[in-house]
Structure 1
Amino acid sequence: MKLRVGVLQLDVALGDREKNRKNVEKWMASVSVPSDMPTAVVIPEIWDVGYALDRAAELADPEGKGAAEFLGSLAKKYGVWFVGGSVLASTGSGFANRAQVINPRGELVAYYDKVHLIRLMEEEKYFTGGRKECLFSLEGAKAGCVICYDIRFCEWLRTYALRGTEVLFVSAEWPSPRADHWKTLLRARAIENQMYMVACNRCGTTGDTHFGGGSMILGPKGEVLFEGGEGEEAGFVTIDLDEVSRTRNFLTVFNDRVPDIYGTHLK
């Protein structure tokens, strides 16, 4: 089975939802190519308002419904899936960094609340962390999504692979001073879990923080299929999901695990 996957590596205007929506609309209009192949598009983390966390009460999207409707209209217009990015959402228990999965009919079919909250960005002061993974069928492909800091936690992404995930989507606002970590971690997660990684990072600057782009699409052996530069751009790649099973059958990592000796000390 083949999929067309793409990233929209965009700048994010802090606190300006309307400007950010217009930018997504502009880029979709300029890069969308009609295709009979299922197509999934990823946009950055908190693409709607950026890290304006101190204004969460003012800016938060109730349950992310406004963003889902907006992306849903674009999904229907262009016949694509959106898998992320995430939005600043208000929930019954506070606020969440929430990634949304929208199908080509414009329907919200799944969502993911960021599990690992990064103290460097003071996320733990504003967000309630998620407690479950996001797994879904993308036209028959076994897919999942996580957000940014999550990729530092190998045990979390391994749970996705153990549940059969073939392609994992990542939305991020990863700062350029740690760009080498971004690239290394993405390749490691692809190699160790033998799955495709489709990772979209933002670009641009907010305050003193520069986000260096470098969005990546990686194959199940860690091969780089697309790597973005530092500015706004889009990249699309056709991936073959059969390559996941070929890779896993050749190098039988999952069969060769010895989980009974790993113990509970990891908790």
Structure 2
Amino acid sequence: MRIAVWQGPSPAADLENGLSQAEAALSAAGNMSASVLVLPEIWLPGYNQPDIPSRSLAADSAELARLSAAARAARCALVIGYAEQAEGRLYNAALCLGPDGTPLANYRKIQLYGPREQALYSPGTGYVTFDLAGQTLALLICYDIEFAPHIKALAAQGVSLILCPTANMHPFIHVPRVTVPAMAASHGLAIAYANYCGTEGNLTYTGGSQIIGPHGEILALAGEHPALLIADLPARDPARLSTQSADFRTV
């Protein structure tokens, strides 16, 4: 399975800019035969924008319908983070559109980070898994990926790849460098981690977007500038897979 990750600067509430970046990355990923492209957290309208509630989108909005058409044209699935307005609540959400443009999954972030997110968003209440290119996939968002019980639970459901939009900022450079690869290795699944680069308001993002194999190997890694990552996931080697879940003992 070929995976693509787009790392770019925040659209900063310019929806046309955000949609255009997504369409260009989708076209490039499709031309390189990627099965799926992952964009950062709250890509629409941008993670650190003021007045997020007024800039939020419904899952059936015209903007997301436009990206559905782009995914269909590129023959490449798309995972995009967005501020979702639904049922009278606001969610930090990630939508997966299939290579035919059909919605495959809509996930709402469980682990809201810090006072701002906790004041803005309602937390999600469950995992979402789906099939793509013959594999079982799941979505997590940013802070979610740092909690081992979530990764363990998804691995137990047969998930082989987690697609993770993020907005990881300084000084938390340890997250892409250490935490995310360790989660992949400890639970025997791959992770595609799509972050921002540059600055947005009072935040400076770490970059470091990456595609990590099921043994913790870094298959593709971005620096601090815009980048489109492409990598082929290797088959899992049973001899190298972690046995922590089976071996764990309580005391």
TM-score range, shorter chain: over 0.9
Runs of 4+ in 1 over 6 A off after TM superposition: none
What residue number does 2:44 align with?
Answer: 48
Question: Which letter maps to 1:10?
Answer: G
1:68 aligned partner: 64
Over 3 Å counting, the alpha-carbon distance change for 1:21 and 1:140 in structure 2 is same
Counterpart residue number, 1:4: 2
Greater per-residue strand proportion:
1
Report the TM-score, using the length of structure 2 for normalisation.
0.92
Displacement of 1:193 after TM fit? 0.6
Q: Equivalences for 1:98-113 in 2 at 5 Å?
A: 98-113=93-108
Partner-residue secondary structure (3-state), 2:19: helix
Report the equivalent of 1:255: 246
Alpha-carbon distance between aligned partners in 1 of 2:237 and 2:226, rounded to the nearest angstrom: 30
| Alpha-carbon distance change, 32 to 80 in structure 1, aligned in 2, over 3 angstroms | closer
Instruction: State the AA in 2 paired with 1:256.
Output: D
Query: Mind listing any 5+ residue stretches in structure 2 that lack a counterpart?
Result: none
Determine the structure 1 residue equivalent to 2:12. 14
Number of corresponding residues: 251
Per the alignment, residue 168 of structure 1 pairs with 162
Q: Counterpart of 2:173 in 1: which secondary structure?
A: helix
Q: What per-residue deviation string (whole Å, max 9, x for no partner) do you get for residues 65-123 of structure 1?
A: 334312211111111111x2210110113101110111111000111000010115x11
Find the partner of 2:84 among 84, 89, 98: 89
Out of 16-25 and 124-133, give the one that drifted further.
16-25
- The two structures have a TM-score, normalised by structure 1, of 0.87
Match of 2:112 in 1: 117
Q: 1:232 to 1:48 in 2, by over 3 A?
A: same
Matched residues in 1 for 2:55 and 2:147: separation? 29
Tell me if the contact between 2:30 and 2:75 (Cα under 8 Å) persists in the aligned partners.
no
Q: CA RMSD in A?
A: 1.9
**Residues in 2 aligned to 1:34 and 1:152: alpha-carbon distance in whole angstroms:** 30
User: For the residues of structure 1 that align with 2:53 and 2:205, how far apart are their CA atoms?
Assistant: 25
Counterpart of 1:141 in structure 2 is 135
Partner deviation per Cα, 1:168-214 (whole Å, 9 max, x = no partner) = 11100100321123321101110111111111111121122111211
* Residue 200 in structure 1 maps to residue 194 in structure 2: yes
Identity across matched positions, percent = 23
How far apart in 2 are the matches of 1:144 and 1:197?
10
Q: Which of the numbers 146, 153, 171 marks the counterpart of 2:147?
A: 153
Deviation at 1:53, TM superposition (A): 5.6
Verify the 8 A CA contact 1:93 1:128 in the aligned structure 2. no
1:227 and 1:153 map into 2 onto residues whose CA distance is 22
Assess if the C-alpha contact under 8 Å between 1:68 and 1:102 holds in 2.
no
1:4-31 deviation line (CA, Å, top 9, x unaligned): 0010111112221111111222333445
